[in-house]
C-alpha cells in the first residue's frame, strides 16, 4: 500500500490538478493525505471538493499540521499516523507522471534491501507541465550530473549507485522531493524530517535515510516540478536556503559511524555550503553576516569568516 503525502500551504490554485494526477496513476495509492499548514486561502475547501469528486478512484483525507509551521512537520504528521508500507511525497504544486507509482514500486521490488526508489524529473513554469514553451529543464538528472554517474543495473530499467549514493546526494542533489517512494519503517528509523528546518529539510532527511539502506532508481521521468513565485526555493529565499544547507551539513559532520569517504565528502560539501552562506549574507546585512560568521567560528572555519573578500563586500554594500 502506498500513501501519498501532500503538505499544503495556500495551495488552492494548484492543488486540484495535483490531486487529479494522483487519481490518474496506473497503480493507485491506498490513501492520499493533504496536510493543511495553516492556509489562509481555499486549500481545505479544494481538497475536500476533490475528495468528493474523486472518491471512486482514490481516498483523500485532510489533516491539520500537528507540529510547527512548515513542510517538515506537515509531512511528519501524515507519516506518523500512516499505516502504509510506502510513502510517496508530493508537493502541492507538482505533477506526477501517470507511471510514478508503478515505476518506483518496480525499482523497490528489484532490491528488497532498498529503502527508497527515485526517478527523473522535468521542471516547468506556468500552468501546464505539457506546454513546450513552459519547459525549463527536460531532465533533472542531466542538469545535476546524476545521468553521468557510474550506476549498477540491478534489474531491467533499475539501477543503484551503491555506497556512492551518500556522496552523490551531497554533491548533486540527485532527485526531486516529489520524485521518490520510500519505505515508511525506514523513514521512522531515520528520524523523519527535522521540524526546525524550512529549507533543505528534504536533503537533510534523504541523507539520513541513505545511511539506513540502499537507494535504487529509474531513469524514467516520474515527476514534473512546477516553478513559481511562491516556491520556498525561489531566488528571494536564497539566503535562507544557504543558511539551511550550511546548518544541516554542520550538524551532519558530528554524526558517528560515517566511513572515511563519507566524512571527506561531507567536509567538502560543508565548506562549499559555508562559502555560499557567507557570500550571500555579506550581500544582505551585517546581522545576517554575523550569524553566518558565528556558524563558521563554531565549526572551526573562522578564517573563512574573516576573508577580505567578504569584508570588502560588506563595505561595498555600506554595511561596515
Q: What is the pLDDT of residue 118?
A: 97
Q: What is the pLDDT of residue 132?
A: 61
Q: How far is CA 246 from the centre of its chain?
A: 16
Q: What is the pLDDT of residue 190?
A: 95
Q: Are the beta carbons of 211 and 166 closer than 8 angstroms?
A: yes
Q: What is the pLDDT of residue 232?
A: 53
Region of 4 on the Ramachandran plot (φ > 0 left; ψ -120 to 50 alpha; else beta): beta
Element spanning 47, H or E: helix 43-53
Render each residue's pLDDT in the chain as its tens digit; 320 residues. Answer: 899 999 999 999 999 999 999 999 999 999 999 999 999 999 999 999 999 999 999 999 999 999 999 999 999 999 999 999 999 999 999 999 999 999 999 999 999 899 999 999 999 987 665 666 578 899 999 998 888 888 999 999 999 998 789 999 998 888 999 999 999 999 999 999 999 988 889 999 999 999 999 999 999 999 999 987 665 555 667 899 899 999 999 988 888 888 888 999 999 999 999 999 999 999 999 999 999 999 999 999 999 999 999 999 999 988 88
- Strands of 193-289 (E only): list them: 214-227
- In whole angstroms, what is the distance from residue 159 CA to residue 155 CA? 7
Length of the chain: 320
Nearest CA-CA partner of 179 in 103, 98, 121: 121
Measure the CA dihedral 196/65/232/135, to 10°: 140
Nearest CA-CA partner of 210 in 146, 115, 108: 115
pLDDT in tens, 261-308: 899 999 999 999 999 999 999 999 999 999 999 999 999 999 999 999
> Nine-digit cell at 301?
572555519
Half-sphere exposure of 111 (CA within 13 A, CB side): 27
Q: How far is CA 185 from the centre of its chain?
A: 19
> Nine-digit cell at 172?
548533486
pTM for the model stands at: 0.92
Amino acid at each position: 500500500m502506498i500513501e501519498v503525502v501532500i503538505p499544503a500551504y495556500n495551495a488552492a490554485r494548484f492543488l486540484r490538478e495535483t490531486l487529479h494526477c494522483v487519481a490518474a496513476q496506473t497503480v493507485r495509492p491506498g490513501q492520499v493525505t493533504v496536510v493543511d499548514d495553516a492556509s489562509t486561502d481555499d486549500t481545505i475547501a479544494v481538497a475536500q471538493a476533490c475528495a468528493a469528486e474523486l472518491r471512486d478512484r482514490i481516498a483523500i483525507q485532510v489533516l491539520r499540521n500537528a507540529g510547527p509551521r512548515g513542510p517538515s512537520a506537515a509531512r511528519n504528521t501524515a507519516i506518523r499516523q500512516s499505516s502504509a508500507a510506502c510513502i510517496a511525497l508530493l508537493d502541492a504544486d507538482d505533477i506526477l507522471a501517470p507511471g510514478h507509482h508503478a515505476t518506483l514500486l518496480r525499482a523497490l521490488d528489484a532490491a528488497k534491501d532498498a529503502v527508497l526508489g527515485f526517478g527523473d524529473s522535468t521542471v516547468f513554469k506556468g500552468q501546464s507541465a505539457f506546454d513546450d514553451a513552459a519547459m525549463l529543464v527536460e531532465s533533472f538528472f542531466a542538469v545535476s550530473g546524476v545521468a553521468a554517474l557510474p550506476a549498477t543495473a540491478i534489474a531491467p530499467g533499475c539501477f543503484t549507485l551503491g555506497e556512492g549514493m551518500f556522496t552523490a546526494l551531497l554533491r548533486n542533489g540527485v532527485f526531486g522531493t516529489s520524485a521518490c517512494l520510500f519505505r515508511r519503517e525506514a523513514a521512522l528509523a531515520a528520524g523523519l524530517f527535522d521540524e526546525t528546518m524550512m529549507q533543505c529539510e528534504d536533503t537533510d532527511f534523504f541523507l539520513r535515510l541513505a545511511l539506513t539502506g540502499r537507494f535504487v532508481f529509474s531513469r524514467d521521468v516520474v515527476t514534473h516540478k512546477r516553478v513559481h513565485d511562491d516556491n520556498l526555493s525561489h531566488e528571494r529565499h536564497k539566503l535562507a536556503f544557504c543558511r539551511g544547507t550550511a546548518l544541516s551539513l554542520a550538524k551532519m559532520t558530528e554524526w558517528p559511524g560515517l566511513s572515511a569517504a563519507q566524512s571527506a565528502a561531507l567536509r567538502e560539501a560543508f565548506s562549499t555550503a559555508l562559502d555560499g552562506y557567507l557570500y550571500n549574507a555579506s550581500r544582505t546585512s551585517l546581522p545576517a553576516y554575523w550569524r553566518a560568521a558565528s556558524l563558521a567560528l563554531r565549526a572551526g572555519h573562522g578564517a573563512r569568516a574573516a576573508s577580505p573578500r567578504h569584508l570588502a563586500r560588506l563595505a561595498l554594500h555600506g554595511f561596515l
